[in-house]
């Protein structure tokens, strides 16, 4: 028991979710103009601790529910390998430590947004809505928006640009979560969790996921006028591939297509925030940088789809039809080309 304790506690914090939240938060710091390494390190420590605490509270609260789901039944809490009182104490220590680090080194507003994200995930989603309504994922998606606001306010006062990128995460969350829920819908059914793939027809699920994916790009596009150049480039190229990753699921609704959509959504969001942060920290990049951003974006998606990751033994579907992808990439390439060399100002009055 004691020799396994570190591994059991580590599983409670859901490291991959915490990592994605840290990516959006830290690159929001850089998008706002950047900060000293000490401030960035403090933000990372505080944000990761608070996010980890939220995940641990989620595992603690859901321990009985998790016993009914194949993918979670062997976790330390539902399996009985970890005492629930230890898990609750661990989550509380993480939350206290993250709050203390944040208050000692960061603006109070930044810490407030971190804690608001924790409250949204634990209280609004986990306790309030997850067991009661399919909208839980939609409203609980606000939890992922708060690290963006926290990162920006660590550097400067809140601005419309940060609000738009926080909204991007909010609109992105349903497509991401419901694609995952499609693969695990039997687990959610067994646990009586009314996520959309459990309570709605397959056609409605496909339509809702597609609307969320398209809505993500629409909201992201509203930031282009004030976001740095790399952001627009990644949005053009990555946005085309993001839709390509969801297209087969929209048409067929298969589990393999859902797996590809899920991993595509993670990749797109991470790349978009990296581009936003790099552009903000550097003041923008020249034509060569925009071309490099386009190539790296396309290459990352190509690598992901070739690798064909899996969820619950279901392998991601192969890449979508080459002609459809090529057409979207062609349009994105035209956008990058047209914006890589902006026209010179006219000398006429």
pLDDT at res. 77:
93
Residue 348 lies in a domain: no
Give me the mean pLDDT over the 326-340 stretch: 58
pLDDT tens digit sequence for 159-177: 999 999 999 999 999 999 9
CATH of the domain at 138: 1.10.357.140
Under DSSP, the state recorded for 20 is H
Residue 180 lies in a domain: yes
If one counts the domains in the chain, the total is: 2
Residue 349 lies in a domain: no
Residue 251 and residue 170 share a domain: yes
Cβ neighbors of 85 (< 8 A, separation 6 or more) are none
In the block, residue with structure tokens 């606001």: 149
pLDDT tens digit sequence for 51-93: 999 999 999 999 999 898 888 888 999 998 999 999 999 999 9
Residue 200 and residue 117 share a domain: no
Give me the mean pLDDT over the 177-196 stretch: 92
Q: Rounded CA gap, 272 and 275, in Å?
A: 5
pLDDT tens digit sequence for 262-279: 999 999 999 999 999 998
Residue 306 and residue 171 share a domain: yes
Residue 346 lies in a domain: no
Top-confidence residue, 208 or 336: 208
Paired with 314 in beta bridges are 311
Cβ neighbors of 158 (< 8 A, separation 6 or more) are 109, 149, 152
Residue 164 and residue 149 share a domain: no
Residue 96 lies in a domain: yes
In the block, residue with structure tokens 């914006």: 339
Query: Domain limits at 287?
Result: 160-341
- Which phi and psi (to 5°) does residue 265 adopt? -65, -40
Residue 201 and residue 292 share a domain: yes
pLDDT band, residue 349 (cuts 50/70/90): very low
Residue 139 and residue 14 share a domain: yes
Residue 115 and residue 54 share a domain: yes
Q: How many CB atoms lie within 10 A of CB 347?
A: 5
pLDDT at res. 140:
79
Paired with 315 in beta bridges are 310
Last residue of a domain, one of 158, 181, 201: 158
pLDDT band, residue 2 (cuts 50/70/90): low
Q: Rounded CA gap, 169 and 151, in Å?
A: 14
Q: Rounded CA gap, 346 and 71, in Å?
A: 63
Residue 171 and residue 148 share a domain: no
């Amino acid at each position: 028991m004691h020799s396994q304790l570190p591994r059991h506690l580590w599983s409670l914090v859901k490291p991959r979710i915490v990592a994605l939240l840290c990516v959006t938060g830290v690159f929001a710091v850089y998008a706002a103009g950047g900060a000293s390494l000490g401030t960035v390190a403090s933000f990372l420590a505080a944000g990761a601790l608070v996010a980890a605490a939220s995940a641990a509270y989620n595992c603690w609260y859901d321990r009985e529910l998790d016993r009914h789901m194949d993918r979670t039944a062997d976790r330390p809490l539902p399996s009985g390998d970890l005492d629930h009182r230890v898990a609750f104490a661990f989550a509380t220590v993480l939350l206290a430590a993250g709050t203390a680090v944040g208050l000692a080194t960061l603006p109070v507003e930044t810490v407030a947004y971190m804690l608001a994200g924790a409250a949204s995930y634990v209280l609004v989603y986990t306790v309030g809505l997850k067991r009661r309504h399919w909208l839980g994922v939609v409203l609980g998606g606000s939890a992922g928006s708060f690290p963006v606001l926290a990162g920006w306010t660590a550097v400067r006062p809140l601005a419309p640009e940060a609000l738009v990128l926080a909204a991007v995460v909010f609109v992105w969350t349903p497509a991401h979560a419901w694609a995952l829920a499609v693969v695990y819908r039997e687990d959610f059914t067994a646990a009586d969790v009314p996520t959309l793939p459990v309570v709605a027809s397959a056609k409605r699920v496909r339509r809702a996921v597609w609307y969320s994916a398209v809505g993500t790009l629409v909201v992201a596009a509203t930031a282009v006028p004030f976001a740095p150049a790399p952001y627009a480039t990644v949005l053009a190229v990555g946005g085309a591939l993001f839709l390509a990753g969801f297209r087969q699921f929209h048409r067929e609704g298969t589990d393999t297509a859902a797996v590809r959509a899920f991993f595509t959504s993670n990749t797109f969001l991470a790349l978009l925030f990296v581009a936003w942060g790099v552009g903000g920290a550097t003041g923008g990049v020249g034509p060569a940088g925009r071309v490099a951003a386009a190539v790296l974006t396309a290459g990352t998606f190509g690598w992901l789809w070739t690798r064909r990751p899996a969820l619950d033994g279901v392998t991601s579907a192969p890449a979508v039809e080459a002609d459809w992808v090529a057409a979207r990439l062609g349009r994105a390439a035209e956008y990058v080309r047209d914006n890589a060399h902006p026209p010179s100002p006219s000398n006429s009055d």
